[in-house]
Amino acid sequence: MKKNKLLLVDGNSIAFRGFFALYQSLERFKNKQGLHTNALYAVNTMLDNVLKDVQPTHALVAFDAGKTTFRHGFYEEYKAGRAKTPSEFREQMPYLRDLIEGLGMKHYELDNFEADDIIGTLAKSVDPNEFDVVILTGDKDLTQLASDNVTINVTIKGVSEIEAYTPAHIMEKYGLEPVQIIDMKGLAGDASDNIPGVTKIGEKTAIKLLKEYQTVEGVYEHVDEMKKSKMKENLINEKEIALMSKRLATINTNSPIEIAVSDLDYSGKNFEKLIAFYKEMDFNSFLAKLDTTDADVPVTPREEITYEVVEKIESAMLSSDMVFHIEMLDENYHTSDIVAVAWGNDKHRYVTTGDWALMDPLMIAYLENPELTKRVYDFKRLYVAACRYDISLEGVAFDVLLAAYIVASTNNSEDIAEVAETFDFYELDRDEKVYGKGVKRGIPEDESVFTEHLARKIHAIDFLYPKLYQELEERQQKELFYDMELPLARILADMEITGITVDANRLNEMKGEFAEILTEIEQKIYAEAGEEFNINSPKQLGVILFEKMKLPVIKKTKTGYSTAVDVLEKLQGESPIIDDILRYRQIAKIQSTYVEGLLKVIFSDQKIHTRYVQTLTQTGRLSSVDPNLQNIPIRLEEGRKIRQAFVPRKAGWKLFSSDYSQIELRVLADISGDEHLRQAFIDGQDIHASTAMRVFGVKTAEEVDGNLRRQAKAVNFGIVYGISDYGLSQNLGISRKEAKTFIDTYFEKYPGVKSYMEDIVRDAKDKGYVETLYHRRRYLPDINARNFNLRSFAERTAINTPIQGSAADILKIAMIKIDQRLKAEKMEATMLLQVHDELVFEAPEEELEKLQQLVEETMADAVDLAVPLRADSSSGATWYDAK
Partner DNA sequence: TTTGTCACG
Partner DNA sequence: ACGTACGTGACAAAT
696-755: which residues touch DNA (CB under 7 A)? 714-715, 717-718, 721-728, 730-731
- Contact between 850 and DNA per CB under 7 A: no
SS3 of residue 646 by DSSP? strand
Q: Is 686 exposed, middle or buried (0-12, 13-18, 19+ CB in 10 A)?
A: middle
Site for DNA in 197-216 (CB under 7 A): 202-204
- Contact between 192 and DNA per CB under 7 A: no
CA 200 vs. chain centroid, Å, equals: 38
Residue 351 CB coordination number (10 Å): 24
DSSP secondary structure letter of residue 579: H
- Contact between 33 and DNA per CB under 7 A: no
Min dist CB 174 to DNA, Å, is 10
DSSP secondary structure letter of residue 703: G
SS3 of residue 80 by DSSP? coil
φ, ψ of residue 651 in degrees (nearest 5): -65, 145
Residue (363 or 551) nearer to DNA, CB? 551
By CB under 7 A, name the one of 169, 247, 570, 796 that touches DNA: 796
- Contact between 621 and DNA per CB under 7 A: yes
Residue (238 or 659) nearer to DNA, CB? 659
- Contact between 838 and DNA per CB under 7 A: yes
In total, the chain counts a number of residues equal to: 883
Site for DNA in 260-299 (CB under 7 A): none
Query: Is the CB of residue 851 less than 8 Å from the CB of residue 839?
Result: no
Min dist CB 615 to DNA, Å, is 10
Strands across the sheet containing 396-399: 308-309, 349-353, 338-344, 322-328, 374-376, 396-399
Residue (71 or 688) nearer to DNA, CB? 688
Min dist CB 756 to DNA, Å, is 15
- Contact between 160 and DNA per CB under 7 A: no
Min dist CB 592 to DNA, Å, is 4
Query: Is the CB of residue 658 less than 8 Å from the CB of residue 870?
Result: no
Find the part of the chain contacting DNA (CB under 7 A) among 80-88, 788-796, 824-832, 857-865. Answer: 788-796
Min dist CB 734 to DNA, Å, is 11
- Contact between 559 and DNA per CB under 7 A: yes
Find the part of the chain contacting DNA (CB under 7 A) among 176-184, 459-467, 554-562, 763-771. Answer: 554-562
Min dist CB 563 to DNA, Å, is 4
Residue (98 or 638) nearer to DNA, CB? 638
Query: Is the CB of residue 742 less than 8 Å from the CB of residue 692?
Result: no
By CB under 7 A, name the one of 449, 616, 682, 877 that touches DNA: 616
Min dist CB 367 to DNA, Å, is 29
By CB under 7 A, name the one of 285, 413, 745, 792 that touches DNA: 792
φ, ψ of residue 304 in degrees (nearest 5): -65, 150
Min dist CB 720 to DNA, Å, is 7
Residue (180 or 562) nearer to DNA, CB? 562
Site for DNA in 215-234 (CB under 7 A): none
The closest alpha carbon to 450, from 528, 340, 368, belongs to 340
By CB under 7 A, name the one of 33, 267, 534, 700 that touches DNA: 534
CA–CA distance, 804 with 663 (Å, rounded to integer):
9
- Contact between 682 and DNA per CB under 7 A: no
SS3 of residue 577 by DSSP? helix
By CB under 7 A, name the one of 151, 501, 619, 878 that touches DNA: 619
Q: Please give the helix or strand (H or E) that residue 660 lies within, else none.
A: strand 653-660
SS3 of residue 163 by DSSP? strand
Site for DNA in 443-502 (CB under 7 A): none
- The site map against DNA for 578-597 (x = CB under 7 A) is ----x--xx--xx-xx--xx
The closest alpha carbon to 333, from 613, 625, 611, belongs to 611
Min dist CB 515 to DNA, Å, is 13
Min dist CB 623 to DNA, Å, is 3
Residue 757 CB coordination number (10 Å): 20
Residue (458 or 577) nearer to DNA, CB? 577
- Contact between 600 and DNA per CB under 7 A: yes
Site for DNA in 622-681 (CB under 7 A): 623-628, 630-636, 639-640
The closest alpha carbon to 712, from 738, 690, 729, belongs to 690
What angle is formed at CA 821 by the lines to CA 818 and CA 825, rounded to 5 degrees?
140
Min dist CB 611 to DNA, Å, is 9
Helices (H), 769-880: 788-824, 848-860
Size of the site for DNA (CB under 7 A): 77
Min dist CB 160 to DNA, Å, is 10
Residue (37 or 834) nearer to DNA, CB? 834
Residue (99 or 665) nearer to DNA, CB? 665
Report how far apart, in Å, the C-alpha atoms of 525 and of each of 179, 497, 516, 556, 579 are. 44, 44, 14, 22, 10
Long-range CB contacts for residues 508-517, cutoff 8 Å, separation at least 24: 508/599, 510/595, 510/641, 510/642, 510/645, 511/591, 511/595, 511/596, 511/599, 514/587, 514/590, 514/591, 514/595, 515/591, 517/587
Residue (411 or 617) nearer to DNA, CB? 617
- Contact between 563 and DNA per CB under 7 A: yes
* Start-to-end CA span in the chain (Å): 67
Residue (85 or 160) nearer to DNA, CB? 160
- Contact between 615 and DNA per CB under 7 A: no
Site for DNA in 797-836 (CB under 7 A): 797, 800-801, 804, 835-836
- Contact between 196 and DNA per CB under 7 A: no
- Contact between 565 and DNA per CB under 7 A: yes
Query: Is the CB of residue 288 less than 8 Å from the CB of residue 300?
Result: yes
Find the part of the chain contacting DNA (CB under 7 A) among 122-130, 222-230, 538-546, 861-869. Answer: 538-546
Site for DNA in 435-454 (CB under 7 A): 437
CA–CA distance, 285 with 259 (Å, rounded to integer):
35
Find the part of the chain contacting DNA (CB under 7 A) among 326-334, 405-413, 555-563, 699-707. Answer: 555-563
Residue (67 or 558) nearer to DNA, CB? 558
Residue (286 or 533) nearer to DNA, CB? 533
DSSP secondary structure letter of residue 323: E
Site for DNA in 311-370 (CB under 7 A): none
What angle is formed at CA 112 by the lines to CA 111 and CA 118, rounded to 5 degrees?
75
Burial track 563-573 (b if 16+ CB lie within 10 A, e otherwise): beeebbeebee
Percent helix, strand, coil in the chain, to 5, is: 50, 15, 35
By CB under 7 A, name the one of 93, 223, 317, 613 that touches DNA: 613
By CB under 7 A, name the one of 57, 562, 672, 858 that touches DNA: 562
Min dist CB 799 to DNA, Å, is 8
Q: Please give the helix or strand (H or E) that residue 49 lies within, else none.
A: helix 38-54
- Contact between 538 and DNA per CB under 7 A: yes
Residue (74 or 726) nearer to DNA, CB? 726
